Amino acid sequence: MPDMTTIGAILSSIKTATDIAKLIHASDLSLEQAEVKLKLAELVGALADVKMELAEVQETLSAKDKQIAELDEAFQTKDTLVRHLDAYYVVDEKGKPKGFPLCLRCWENDRKKRQLVEDSGYNRKLVCPSCGHSYKDHMARTL
């Protein structure tokens, strides 16, 4: 989440832009043309600063929303997985493990369901394509 200094900078830029706009609006013909151009340039700069800061805030909020969705999905599937030997499995209607083995490390550390695959270089060995952790096939096999 954006820190208080970022939010303060956004608010300060908005206040500056508003003050400049009010000054231009309230000015009469006594302002020189160059002075008006200078104030407009300052206004554009202040608005550009606001736009950049808001883009950063939007990016941060989007990342947080994604993380919340991932954690929510992990929480929802928590009870549908069970550990058997060195892997996690989906449970059947009787609560027994079934199907393909899922990486123990990825689930316990990151709450990510990663299916193990056979290691092409070694016979009787499974590996997680995400983290690279390897398992002996008799400790993590398809059920």
Average pLDDT in the chain: 82
User: Which tops the pLDDT comparison, 98 or 76?
Assistant: 98
pLDDT score at 29: 56
CB atoms within 10 A of CB 106: 20
pLDDT score at 24: 72
pLDDT score at 102: 94
pLDDT score at 30: 58
Can you tell me the distance from the alpha carbon of 123 to that of 126, in angstroms, rounded to the nearest whole number?
A: 9
To 10 degrees, what angle do helices 4-26 and 33-77 make? 150
| pLDDT tens-place string over residues 85-97 | 999 999 888 888 9
3-state SS, one letter per residue, for 26-92: HCCCCCCHHHHHHHHHHHHHHHHHHHHHHHHHHHHHHHHHHHHHHHHHHHHHHHHEEEECCEEEEEC
pTM over 0.75: no
Cβ proximity of 39 and 20 under 8 Å: yes
| pLDDT tens-place string over residues 32-83 | 777 777 877 888 888 888 888 888 888 888 889 998 888 887 777 767 888 9
pLDDT score at 27: 67
**C-alpha torsion angle, residues 66, 67, 73, 74 (rounded to 10):** 160
Q: What are the counts of helices (DSSP H) followed by strands (DSSP E) for the chain?
A: 3, 6
pLDDT score at 131: 93
pLDDT score at 28: 60
Residue 135 pairs with which residues in a beta bridge?
126
Token readout for 118 is 């056979």
Q: At residue 12, does pLDDT exceed 90?
A: no
Share of the chain above pLDDT 90, in %: 19
